[in-house]
Amino acid sequence: MTGVVLCGGQSLRMGADKGLLKFDDQAIWAQHVYDILSALKLPVVVSVNNHQAKRYAGFFDAQQLVYDSSRLTMGGPLKGILSVHVKYPDEDLLILACDMIQMQQEPLLHLIQSVNTREEAFVFCNDTHAEPLCAVYTSKALRKLYNLYANNHLHKPSMHYALQQLEVLYADVLPGWKNFFSNYNCREDLDSQ
């Protein structure tokens, strides 16, 4: 299994690249989330789009960065996830969005321990809302999604639509974990913390 820090979004609502924002005036968000995943003793990569290449190269080694694949024309988080799959086709991927800066190890360990041979993806459900950017996608699931895309059968590039194509085991977010799933999309989200 490989950990993936998902940073390739446009951050339009935030007005700045979220992965490069400072966490507690020290590490950038992407590095902070990278460290969370690395503490699980997993190899970790950072998924970025091609426009972010130079900026992220200042923080990460070349082998730590995975750029969006030119084979994929869709946008959104699914492009980043499938781009990592193209580079590491036999790896299950533990995905964590770069703006989930409150995440702790306990829920992630719970996800990893949930992986079995039946389901294809392991996703937290926060009340009734799936959390597809804190999830494990097996190589089988990713192959299925990539093949659907390659054969023009992936009709929407959304993560929720992608989950509908897979056999998913949903795990409830425990009450003490709810704050870990906060993500920050705009400046107002930061101010409210």
**Architecture (CATH level 2) of domain 2-191:** Alpha-Beta Complex (3.90)
Average pLDDT score over residue span 85-106: 96
Tokens 């730590």 appear where? 64
- Distance (Å, whole) CA 113 – CA 116: 8
pTM over 0.85: yes
Q: Kind and range of the H or E element at 170?
A: strand 168-172
pLDDT for 178 equals: 93
pLDDT for 13 equals: 46
pLDDT for 53 equals: 86
pLDDT tens sequence across 103-127: 999 999 999 998 887 899 999 998 8
Domain ranges of the chain: 2-191
Confidence tier at 145 by pLDDT (50, 70, 90): very high
pLDDT for 127 equals: 87
pLDDT for 192 equals: 47
Q: Could you tell me which residue, 145 or 55, shows the higher pLDDT? A: 145
